[in-house]
Amino acid sequence: MTQASAGRVTALDFGRAGRSKQRRASQSQDPTVLTDVYEEDTNIVIWQRELPEPLVEEVREILASPYPPELSMTVSPEAAERAIQQALGGKAAPLLCEDAAQLVEMLCCLLGIERVGLRLTALSQAMCPKFHVDHVPCRFVTTYCGVATEWLPHGSVDRARLGRGSNGLPDSESGLYRREADIQQLEAGDVALLKGELWEGNEEAGLVHRSPAVPAGESRLLLTLDVVGA
């Protein structure tokens, strides 16, 4: 098979990719939408929120600082705010610390867990530039500033083209999806729960997503929360 033929996709190919399981996105401006992660037919749940301007300004200042954050830690809801404050340098970014701690509490309550793995990272380039699935139960993702995560609806993906199945071709040429219009994107401030391959019953249906390309001279601040040990 040539690279050109490897990237050619028919409607039958996509029919096979989505035949066994159907998945949808659930999104709302109401934070209670996050409980839809327990609906079997969802693989991404999006709480569409608009960040308050003081928090946005605080984040912009952080990104403009000589040493933007790159944190990785395991935290409990009770200790999260203080731990993030200490990692950021004491009294720095109180609004960001408070918001991140609230998200830690929300995820722990939602999943019935006591701790999460937290990463808060300033990025000036795509961290995972190719579409992929996560081999975790789920991942909590929010971008505080800058371009946000891109994802593909389940029915728009030929999963055989993921990873090595791309034959080394870019996503736009591999046949992973049919049209550029299939690519969806979160907005800054949105909080998304991305179901992975290890969520029970979600095998072969983990959300396909990637980091966005960051425009030259810009950066983004990304927070991810993961189940510890996943």
24: its two tokens: 């949808």
pLDDT of residue 25: 97
Helices (H), the chain: 3-6, 11-19, 53-64, 80-88, 94-111, 171-174
Alpha-carbon span 88 to 220, nearest angstrom: 17
- Closest residue by Cα to residue 69 from 189, 228, 219, 229: 219
CATH code of the domain occupying 3-227: 2.60.120.10
pLDDT of residue 126: 66
Angle between helices 94-111 and 53-64 (to 10 degrees): 110
Q: Per-residue pLDDT tens for 10-46?
A: 433 444 444 468 999 999 999 999 999 999 999 999 9
pLDDT of residue 225: 98
Q: Per-residue pLDDT tens for 99-123?
A: 999 999 999 999 999 999 999 999 9
Q: Per-residue pLDDT tens for 55-96?
A: 999 999 999 988 888 999 999 999 999 999 999 886 679 999
